[in-house]
Chains A and B, each alone.
Chain A
Amino acid sequence: MRLLLVEDEIDIRNFLKSSLEETGYQVQAAPDGKTAERLAVEGDFDILIVDLGLPDQDGITLILKLRQLGVKAPVLILSARRSVDDRVRGLEQGGDDYLTKPFALAELLARLRNLLKRNSPAGNDATRLRVQDLELDLLRREATRGGQVLQLTQQEFVLLEYLCRNAGRVVTRSMILDKVWGMRIQPDTNVVDVHIYRLRGKVDGAGQQPLIRTMRGVGYVLKDR
């Protein structure tokens, strides 16, 4: 996967570049809009990360310019601004996504994956999800583990489905709040943890190998092997 990273802060650029490369992306980094324009037209990128506050131009102006130049790759917008610009909302509706700084790396990776999945032709319209011995029937809204039907509430099923779709990858609390409850909030209480705790009590029965793992300081992961 070829990724273009447009970020002027050298510290952030460096750590993002190295962590993204570690994850398997081929990263080219640009410190400003001019360089980004040149690189984007030359190279065929699968995805872009663009910071809104660039020294030479506004990030949104850059994205619109790149779209005019024929760059079709999805964009993940990074913003250090306080309020989400209406124009960012517009881009979000057009298929791009945004993330406010500071962010968890896991969340950045998850959003990148989502953007790439959205743009790939193979849809995720499967009716069944399977992770190890855990199986989800999306039509009947039923989950089984090792053949045993799990007694889940509607909300718990949605949460488990989200974890399954991201099996093997870390999801943060704010990602869970965003995707399962549809809110971008940062509670300073353990509301998400309690949901996970309850779900774990139903999914990981006594004597079974625990599937839902806590990644401290980051979030949760559903183990896929």
Chain B
Amino acid sequence: MSSKTGKPAMRSAAWRISLWATLAFAFGTMVVFVFLHGFVASDIQRRSDAWLSGEVEVLGDVAERTPKNALYDTVVGEVAELAEREVPDKPATGNGTDDTVFFLQSGGDGSLKLWVGAGNGEAHLQAIRAKHIPEDRPTDITVPGFAVPFRVASIRMDDGSQIYLGLSERDEQRVLWSLRLRFLVLWLLIVLLGFGIVFLTTHRMLSHVRRISEAASQIGHSDLDARVPTTKRNDEVSHLALTLNRMLDRIESSMHQLHTITDSLAHDLRSPLTAIRGKLEMSLSTITENEQAEPVVSAIDELDRLTDFLNKSLDVAEAKADALRLSRSVVELDELLRVMLDLYEPSMSENGLRVRLQSRGPVSILVDSALLHRMIANLLDNELKHLPANRNLTIELHSEGSSAILTLEDDGPGFDPEVLLHVFEGRVKGKTSDGHGLGLAFVDAVARAHGGTVAASNRQEGGARIAITLPLAMEQSRHTMVPVVSRSK
């Protein structure tokens, strides 16, 4: 477990899920905000435009009715100042004069007739001149010296002069700016919070799924008694665990059935074999003539071969159903090979074969030693039976990563091409073979039962090559530390 949590979180599925979910969420809220922002901005614009149009009309009215005498400037100026105080959304300012609103009347010749506002109004007049302002709706004017444009409404007087009322968009922009700022801060907070929540929940859920898959992968290689961990919650993950466990129940029961069948088959065949062998042996002890003994001896030999065939067939059948029963212990493969070669070497040199063992030191594997002994005996028997005289057999052993790799290479005739395809299936044998063709099928079965592999090929320079991988002991003992809930019976 601890080795798995050390894995960077950025490579986990939980990370990817929360990243995509957060991206979608962030993008969605951003779109909604942009839409709302546009709505608010246009509403503020509409309100200030309505105020501008109304006020400019009132001012035009006042200017129309006020007699064009010395008092005209004062009267219209004061009305304009009053109007300016009613600016919508305007924050309270300390002094009376501010630069957010101006009133301007230009004469028919385009000269500045009346100015109410900050400064002398020349710059504003220049800007207005430069741009045509339609009468029915307010327009944006950019005045040099002011960073923020003005919204200007105008009305035309009967005497040919023109009245302008301008309102700086600074307040509007300030409102929108603070709206954006607040949104951004809140948006960031919510997105980060959402990411955190999604990550934590999916991580928790997926770590449960991971525990289930780790436990499930362990089951079958060690024992079928174990079950994946379940939770009390009633969600999909706990359903997955329950379904897996129900499936394991069924597998275990059919496996049990298979064992019962092979066991009773073995028993039913072995008992008569035992009786027959015993009787043959008894009759052999009473025979003194060598010639008379011959048929009995060969009958016993045949019987032993039949027994061996029976054992191997049942082992291969069980292994193919992944149901071989293993009783594991740590085996030093390097040492075992030396003992095996010690046993086989005389027969091999008797047959004119030269054997060489290349080993790079001890290699420990966790296996069923009885099965492993028989597997290696099968491999060596196979070489002994099929290699012609004056050939070489090289056995090479080394460990690579988490696997022990055992290769047997000879310079014999190699496999028949049509045999090579089915060499591990059992009941396939070369034309010259007198075995029952189960040898390599058994090797394959044992290797696979231990989580290993076997590959057979013909070497380019001629000869056969069989490569076997078996998991190293360390690797397997670490796997068994994965928490697997044992079922209470």
Contacts and interface: CB of A to CB of B under 8 A. Distances in A.
Interface in B364-388: 370, 373-374, 377, 380-381, 384-385
Contacts of A18: 282
Contact of A53 (B267, B298, B308): B267
B51 interface: no
A102 B327 contact: no
Q: Which of A11, A106, A182 has the most CB of B within 10 A?
A: A11
Interface stretch (A37-45, A68-76, A81-89): A81-89
B203 to A, nearest CB: 41
B263 interface: yes
Contacts of A89: 327
Contacts of A105: 277-278, 281-282
Contact of B267 (A80, A177, A181, A188): A80
A198 B350 CA distance: 10
A57 interface: no
Contacts of A217: 280-281, 284, 293, 296-298, 300-301
A89 B297 CA distance: 32
A15 B279 contact: yes
Contacts of A133: none
Q: Which of B270, B296, B342 has the most CB of A within 10 A?
A: B270
Interface string A163-195: 000000000000001000111111111110011
A12 B271 contact: yes
The interface residues of chain A, by DSSP majority, are classed as loop
Interface string A1-41: 00000000101100110110000000000000000000000
A218 interface: yes
B339 interface: yes
B344 interface: yes
A155 interface: yes
Contacts of A225: none
Interface in A86-111: 86, 89, 100-106
A189 B303 contact: no
Contacts of B350: 194
Contacts of A183: 339, 343, 373, 377
A191 B347 contact: yes
B325 A181 contact: no
The interface residues of chain B, by DSSP majority, are classed as helix
A140 interface: no
Given A12-B271, A86-B327, A183-B373, A102 B281 contact: no
B274 interface: yes
Contacts of A194: 346-347, 350
Given A103-B274, A187-B377, A181 B343 contact: yes
B308 A186 contact: yes
A82 B315 CA distance: 8
Contact of A184 (B272, B277, B304, B373): B373
Contacts of A53: 267
B307 interface: yes
Contacts of A218: 281, 284, 300
A137 B263 CA distance: 47
Interface in B343-359: 343-344, 346-347, 350
Interface string B323-335: 0010100000000
Given A11-B275, A101-B273, A189-B385, A182 B296 contact: no
A128 B346 CA distance: 28
B305 A188 contact: yes
Nearest to A52: B267
Interface string B420-438: 0000000000000001000
A81 B296 contact: no
Nearest to A10: B275
B266 A82 contact: yes
A21 to B, nearest CB: 12
Q: Which of B275, B280, B282, B303 has the most CB of A within 10 A?
A: B275
Contacts of B385: 189
B262 interface: yes
A102 B347 contact: no
B274 A189 contact: no
11 contacts: A11-B271, A19-B278, A19-B281, A80-B274, A82-B315, A101-B270, A105-B277, A181-B339, A188-B308, A194-B347, A217-B293
Given A182-B339, A184-B373, A188-B435, 15 more contacts: A9-B274, A19-B278, A84-B327, A183-B373, A185-B373, A185-B377, A187-B377, A187-B381, A189-B384, A191-B346, A191-B347, A191-B384, A194-B346, A194-B350, A217-B281
Q: Which 3 A-B pairs have the closest CB atoms?
A: A217-B297, A11-B275, A102-B274
Interface of B: 262-263, 266-267, 270-282, 284, 293, 296-298, 300-301, 303-305, 307-308, 311, 314-315, 318, 325, 327, 339, 342-344, 346-347, 350, 370, 373-374, 377, 380-381, 384-385, 435
Interface of A: 9, 11-12, 15-16, 18-19, 53, 80-84, 86, 89, 100-106, 155, 177, 181-191, 194-195, 198, 216-218
